[in-house]
Amino acid sequence: MKAAFAVLALLAAPLQAAPATTGDLGLVVERATGSLLVIDRADRAAIGRIEGLGDLSHASLTYSPDERFAYVFGRDGGLTKVDMVEEKVVARTVQAGNSIGGAISDDGRLVAVSNYEPGGVKVFDTETLALVADIPAAGKTIGLVDVPGRRFAWTVWDTGEVFLGDFSGAEPAITPLGYAGKNPFDAVITDDAHTYLVGLFGEKGVTAFDLWSDHPEPRKFLTDYGKTGEDMPVYKMPHLQGWAFTEGQFALPAVGRHELLWVDRARLEEVATTPVHGQPVFVIAQPASPYVWVNFATPLNDTVQVVDSRTHEVVATLTPGKAVLHMEFAPRGAEVWISARDDNRVLIYDTHTREMIGEFAAEAPSGIFFTARAHQPGL
Amino acid sequence: MKAAFAVLALLAAPLQAAPATTGDLGLVVERATGSLLVIDRADRAAIGRIEGLGDLSHASLTYSPDERFAYVFGRDGGLTKVDMVEEKVVARTVQAGNSIGGAISDDGRLVAVSNYEPGGVKVFDTETLALVADIPAAGKTIGLVDVPGRRFAWTVWDTGEVFLGDFSGAEPAITPLGYAGKNPFDAVITDDAHTYLVGLFGEKGVTAFDLWSDHPEPRKFLTDYGKTGEDMPVYKMPHLQGWAFTEGQFALPAVGRHELLWVDRARLEEVATTPVHGQPVFVIAQPASPYVWVNFATPLNDTVQVVDSRTHEVVATLTPGKAVLHMEFAPRGAEVWISARDDNRVLIYDTHTREMIGEFAAEAPSGIFFTARAHQPGL
């Protein structure tokens, strides 16, 4: 019977560690150590750690449709496929010298990465990470997003050009959509995949492309948006993926100013501004609520503010910890998980009482990503 | 070593049957046999069947946050908890004589059921199905929805009254919200949990309640909406849960008429109508697209139409099979699964080519529910 017990013990160890379901799991990027924490909303805790992901100092990730795998885009050009059940790296390719983000196709078959060095977009098979397409660019590529129909859109920093790539056929079909403006720094797609919005750094304004149109064209708006002057230091470029879409409005982080800007979604016109605590980085909508939550650039990054999208007024100011880098909501909005890098903690707040209801240790945590993102176009 | 192999075989059997992840699974209600098919988007197939759910002739269900469990609301008043991994019933209570639907709280802790006979709302612990609260009503309850903050809203057919129940404290706090109108037949909450919309049968109109307000009040609109006259047969009451929210509009099924109605979401005014093939039952938005898909009441229920929310025109007419009862989209919108009850089949269509890409057998299939619903407020 000794043999039987040995086998049992061997089998039992990985099985007990493996969660039966992945619906309420997530990953926290540990930026200094190149590792990921596996987190569980049911436990309000970390349940595992995955190591060996390279340079995660500016990392993001996306999930497979079954929530089993995450595709992690590292600053060092590494694309890593991680198994959420086995809690391990299952494939990794350093596919460029410096990458800035990526996306998964609507059918879950392709993962695309936008690269700085050399610029361009590489597309991989999600099963094997085999290279499927290599699309060069005349500069650094930014703002890569998934577009329904096995397509991706992206933008080139150096030339200001926007492209739509269709990977549904035997050969990729790449369509230039036109000139967005000087030095686009980031782009985002709305949750209905209708509008691709490109933020500019080299000039003022935001440029919109209607991706429901057969022939999308650049449409510039918010021509007051951007860097105010040479004398205004920008401590951290805001993340446009954090644009909140609520009450028929976009809420944008102003560049370099202590302000949110509210834009009417249909008319693309500024409707209000909200003075806030610092330079906003992420502006994220609390699901099923009128509220957006905002974090800030250094040195004012110990604070989070909550703003009402109806009145455009700050309704709460919290100080969760040192160097708040990211916030992620439970998908029905009941709680928000906040990373405090310099406290080495993740804090969990009840969104209704706005009180802390949990916390756990993490090594210099930055991005927090729940698996529910697998089901959201554009994430 | 024989003992070791026996142990291995015992352990291996249930483990191989159990899917490691639940992100792309779902359930199909088999209405005639009181069973559920477990379906898998990766395989485009059924992977199991769960039996013993009683009368599922008018059933709906909701999922736990981890996607492990489904809570099934049967016509016979049965509330059944189903395990998606083990593919079996884990708890069942016949909690009323006749029930019409239910919802799960935003934190996943409570499941509520609205009952016809006797009328009222019963609230259960999702872990054990133990009764937590029993709220009587002066008639049949309909239109039960989850509201953030461990709350639910519901409506009483006989009296036209609407209630908001808060179950976040030690005792339930029930607040009457006022009179919606005569004989409300169904109600729905918008995806941002902002507006509770009640459709009326006993008079014309739809009544809206602003659930973001501290004191929601009834606001009647679309006073042309409803049953046209005594001479107009209504073959099937439309489902308001199928209201599509797209392009700043609601798309409503007209009652008894061959028409969709389009209502501006902000102004609550009718902006267009679309003549369609039959009396619409479900009007469902294709995610990340301008399109809604519509099915129809008997005897015109072999057809599905696709309508563009920008032009309000029918852009495609499909005939997937006999007695199309429901449609469910993959959460990023790449495909739609359609139940054809009288063909005993589920058909899978690519939403971009609008061509059939798969099918499988099912016993008189009706509702199709993917686990991604676990992450959507109001579903």
User: Chain B contacts of A291, Cβ < 8 Å?
Assistant: none
According to DSSP, residue B171 is labeled S
For residue A116, give how far its alpha carbon lies from the nearest alpha carbon of chain B (Å).
28
Segment A35-45, tens digit of pLDDT: 999 999 999 99
User: Chain B contacts of A246, Cβ < 8 Å?
Assistant: 192
Q: What is the identity of the amino acid at B12? A: A
- The Cα–Cα gap between A342 and A325 comes to 10
- C-beta atoms of B24 and A65 within 8 A: yes
Tell me what pLDDT residue B356 has: 98
Q: Taking residues B338-366, what's their average pLDDT?
A: 98
What the block records as the tokens of A100 is 């800035």
Long-range CB pairs of B211-219, under 8 A, 24+ apart, other chains included = B211/B147, B211/B153, B211/B164, B212/A289, B212/A290, B212/A310, B216/B164, B216/B177, B216/B178, B217/B177, B217/B178, B218/B162, B218/B177, B218/B178, B218/B179, B218/B180, B218/B181, B219/B268
Residue B362 banded pLDDT, cuts 50, 70, 90: very high
Tell me what pLDDT residue B250 has: 86
Predicted confidence (pLDDT) at residue B3 exceeds the cutoff of 70: no
B149 reaches A (C-beta below 8 A): yes
**% chain B with pLDDT above 90:** 76
Segment B260-302, tens digit of pLDDT: 999 988 888 999 999 999 999 999 999 999 999 999 999 999 9
* CB atoms closer than 10 angstroms to residue B173: 12
Backbone angles phi, psi at B101, to 5 degrees: 155, 180
Nearest to B285 by CA among A148, A164, A197: A148
Residue B223 banded pLDDT, cuts 50, 70, 90: confident
Tell me what pLDDT residue B65 has: 97
Residue A13 banded pLDDT, cuts 50, 70, 90: very low
According to DSSP, residue A136 is labeled E
SS (H, E, C) A140-197: CEEEEEEECCCEEEEEECCCCEEEEEECCCCCCEEEEEEECCCCEEEEEECCCCCEEE
Residue A223 banded pLDDT, cuts 50, 70, 90: confident
Residue B240 banded pLDDT, cuts 50, 70, 90: confident
B271 reaches A (C-beta below 8 A): no
> How many contacts (CB atoms, under 8 Å) link A and B?
182
Nearest to A46 by CA among A374, A332, A337: A337
Tell me what pLDDT residue B267 has: 87
ipTM of the modeled complex: 0.91
User: Chain A contacts of B8, Cβ < 8 Å?
Assistant: 7, 11
For residue A168, give how far its alpha carbon lies from the nearest alpha carbon of chain B (Å).
10
Tell me what pLDDT residue A248 has: 81
Q: Taking residues B227-246, what's their average pLDDT?
A: 67
Contact in structure between B113 and B121 (CB atoms under 8 Å)? yes
- The Cα–Cα gap between A309 and A247 comes to 7
Tell me what pLDDT residue A378 has: 87
Chain A interface disruption, residue of B24, B309, B332, B369, most A CBs within 10 A: B332
A66 reaches B (C-beta below 8 A): yes
Least confident stretch, A88-102, B24-38, B155-169: A88-102
Chain B interface disruption, residue of A66, A166, A308, A336, most B CBs within 10 A: A66
Segment A228-255, tens digit of pLDDT: 665 556 667 777 776 667 778 889 888 8
Tell me what pLDDT residue A255 has: 84
For residue B23, give the chain A residue with the closest CA.
Answer: A66
Tell me what pLDDT residue B25 has: 96
Tell me what pLDDT residue A238 has: 73
Tell me what pLDDT residue A328 has: 97
Contact in structure between B292 and B311 (CB atoms under 8 Å)? no
Q: pTM of the full predicted structure?
A: 0.93
**Based on the number of CB atoms within 10 Å of its own CB, is B1 exposed (0-12), middle (13-18) or buried (19 or more)?**
exposed
What the block records as the tokens of A145 is 């997003």
Q: Strand, coil or helix: what is A306?
A: strand
Residue A224 banded pLDDT, cuts 50, 70, 90: confident
Helix (H) or strand (E) holding A282: strand A280-285
Predicted confidence (pLDDT) at residue A51 exceeds the cutoff of 50: yes
Contact in structure between B345 and B362 (CB atoms under 8 Å)? yes
Tell me what pLDDT residue A19 has: 47
For residue A202, give how far its alpha carbon lies from the nearest alpha carbon of chain B (Å).
31
Predicted confidence (pLDDT) at residue B64 exceeds the cutoff of 80: yes
Segment B321-350, tens digit of pLDDT: 999 999 999 999 999 999 999 999 999 999
Tell me what pLDDT residue A9 has: 39
Tell me what pLDDT residue A276 has: 97
CA distances (Å), origin A116, targets A139, A185, A238, B161: 7, 12, 18, 59
Residue B7 banded pLDDT, cuts 50, 70, 90: very low
